[in-house]
Structure 1
Amino acid sequence: MKPELDGHTTGAPSESSPFAADLHAALGRTPKAISPKYFYDEAGSRLFEQICELPEYYPTRTELALLHTHAVDMTTQFGPQVQLVEYGAGALHKVRLLLDAMPYDSVQFVPVDISGTHLLAACDGLAADYPGLTIQPLVADFTRPHTLPPCPDGTRRVGFFPGSSIGNFTPAEADAFLRLAAAELAGGGLLIGIDLVKDHGVLHAAYNDAAGVTAAFNLNVLDRARKELGAEFPADGFEHLAFYNPAYRRIEMHLRAARALTLQLGGEVYVFHEGETLHTEHSHKYTVTAFQAVAQRAGFTPGKVWTDPNRWFAVLWLESQAL
């Protein structure tokens, strides 16, 4: 199976790659910050799969339970003939619960992910387990304009965005993505997972696991910069930092300089003071009503909502009106 390559995707990163350009920009601004999409090279994708299995990391198991319990109800919203587009597809574990609840031979599945090697391996496994499923993988940054395969006549285009990944976007980025999705899913809809506002202790434990897997995932951004871009910095120069910021209702992840140091990249030298950070991710937490309002402004009509007994997580159905 060969993935389709979107025009915004490149091959092996180099000093002229988007990663290099974005890292230079990140290191040159104050405060320093880079998009979390650069977590997801092959090593980062594997580490994230390990995070999803940690006892402290509640989002994955909570969302999986919701999908398992309510998959039939969720897929009833889709309609009989579906082009199912999964944004940030990853390992393709959760979509299996949807496929099991519907006649998947009537589904054209379009997983979209920035990590081509990881995506192709996941699609091979899915194809072996679902032999009647049409799979058209697309290697692309789904937050930027991209071209989906044509939607067959009589088929609704439905998006699937699990994992509360929308929380990694700033409010402006979330609005931009939802507007993009509402346009390309016109006449269909979006099934999306969101992490809900909850006790701060639960949140802290989820992003500071005892095994240190989240720390390794965070530090992998710099490991990737060393391997792919030739970045030079002390091996023990940075440490993982994650905390809840109540003012923004979000977890923040940073790479903090353990001491004063320099990072060299492509002939440029960037100075870090002791304690200075590179902000690598934030994970916003929502209430259901607040998120529905954001989705409505972007062009969706809020539909059914499924939540767990603790109200830690929610999966929402959003209708997108035909153009």
Structure 2
Amino acid sequence: MALVDDRSMTMGRAEWTGGSASVGDYFELLKPRVMSLVIFTALTGMVLAPGGVHPLLGFVAILGIAVGAGASGALNMWYDADIDRLMSRTARRPVPDGRITASEALQFGMVLSVLSVMVLGVAVNWAAASMLAFTIFFYVVVYTMGLKRRTPQNIVIGGAAGAFPPMIGWTAVTGTLSWESAILFLIIFMWTPPHFWALALVKSEDYARAGVPMMPVVQGAASTRRQIVLYAALLAPIGVLPTVLGFAGLTYGVVAAVLGAVFLAFSVQVARVTEGPEARKAAMRLFFFSIGYLFALFAVLLVEHLVVGALAGV
């Protein structure tokens, strides 16, 4: 495994040279692309939850969840600045690039963390706020500080952090958890490893240089490809569970079944094409399709529920 160079080891999580940060730099700290997925899945959880919520409280809940997700991203970038600067994919992030200092990122993330939890607790309910606090803790402490640099199972276990938002959204409406929200959690949880491992196959040299024990670095590309197929095979039927268990309709079930089959087919292609430019193309095809897969599943859940609700009110 590659080691972090002497300069990064010396600096650790200390100050970088930054100080001329713009609003855009701070916004980048929030990991807006990740935040958009968090917002969307949390909103789906809220809409599917029984009972409904006042639109203003719903907006505050989504805002709190979004800010909490952004706070997690900022704290992740603070802690990981030393390895981010060694990887081409992350070297231009605000902290390793020197546009924001490590202490500024830390303070920004901590303030947003506390603010998001307090707003969600005071304005909505403390059950949802507690789940948000746990999610931030899990992502920053358990995944970023504990798992990411120590085990190739980092994404498998750490993926739970990204799977909590629909449960938080559900709890914001009902004040309690339910098996339906647990199914939404399970879909995202099982989706996360093949999604990230597809990218890791392409970026394995980056991870090796930074000393991050991603699956392709530690167990090899062949093992990673087999596990991608395994997770895709498990994900396909899990994606259909909302229809099987009765809290989604036939439209969702058909879409989930078709997309799950395509996901599995792309995964098999990744396993079969192992060399040359075509292997990279196959992995990136799966990576980008996986993003569309998850958005499509939750979009159909959302639209289907809204349409059924509207027809019921006619």
TM-score, normalization: structure 1? 0.28
In terms of fraction of residues, the more strand-rich structure is 1
TM-score, normalization: structure 2? 0.29
In terms of fraction of residues, the more helix-rich structure is 2
Query: Does 1 or 2 have the higher relative contact order (CA < 8 Å, sep 6+)?
Result: 1
